[in-house]
Amino acid sequence: MKKTIFLSAVVGFSVMCFAFVPQKKAWDAPAAAAGKANPQKGPESVANGKALFAKNCASCHGKAGLGDGSKASELKTEPGDFSKAAFQGQSDGALFYKISEGRDDMPSFKKKMPEANDIWDVVNFMRTLKK
């Protein structure tokens, strides 16, 4: 009987503690944004995207997009690994939306990159980061 009460208390306490652990929330782009086609193509787009990524993104996401930038340890949210299939499986429109809008530690880049084609170029560069 004492074991049952003890085990019930341990399980109850564990469940209660788990309820207070922050859960990773999904970041899904709205369907309309995710469905947008990337108008930028070619090596010039990738080269421009690489330069913009180095200037605006690498400090958190790392030079190779592995989430290991110099500021990554200061963030509350994990910057992610762009080489993983889960990241690369997102549509160009979804990536454009996330860069444009931002969320939590990820700032909006609508003002820093006001030309939409620059954001599309960053998306094209990010596509080169897959393993």
CATH number at residue 113: 1.10.760.10
**Predicted pLDDT of residue 131:** 76
Confidence of residue 5 (pLDDT cuts 50, 70, 90): low
Chain Cα centroid distance, residue 26? 10
Residue at 90: amino acid letter: Q
Q: Produce one character per residue of 38-66: b if its CB has 16 or more CB atoms within 10 Å, e if not.
A: bebeeeebbebbbebbeebbbebbbeebb
The pTM is what?
Answer: 0.81
Tally of structural domains, the chain: 1
* Average pLDDT estimate for 2-8: 57
pLDDT tens profile 78-106: 999 999 999 999 999 999 999 999 999 99
Instruction: Report the pLDDT value the prediction gives residue 45, as an integer from 0 to 100.
Output: 98
Does 31 fall in a domain? no
Q: 41 lies in which domain range?
A: 36-129
Structural contact between residues 118 and 60, judged by C-beta atoms closer than 8 angstroms: no
Task: Report the mean per-residue pLDDT for the chain.
Answer: 88
pLDDT at res. 4 = 60
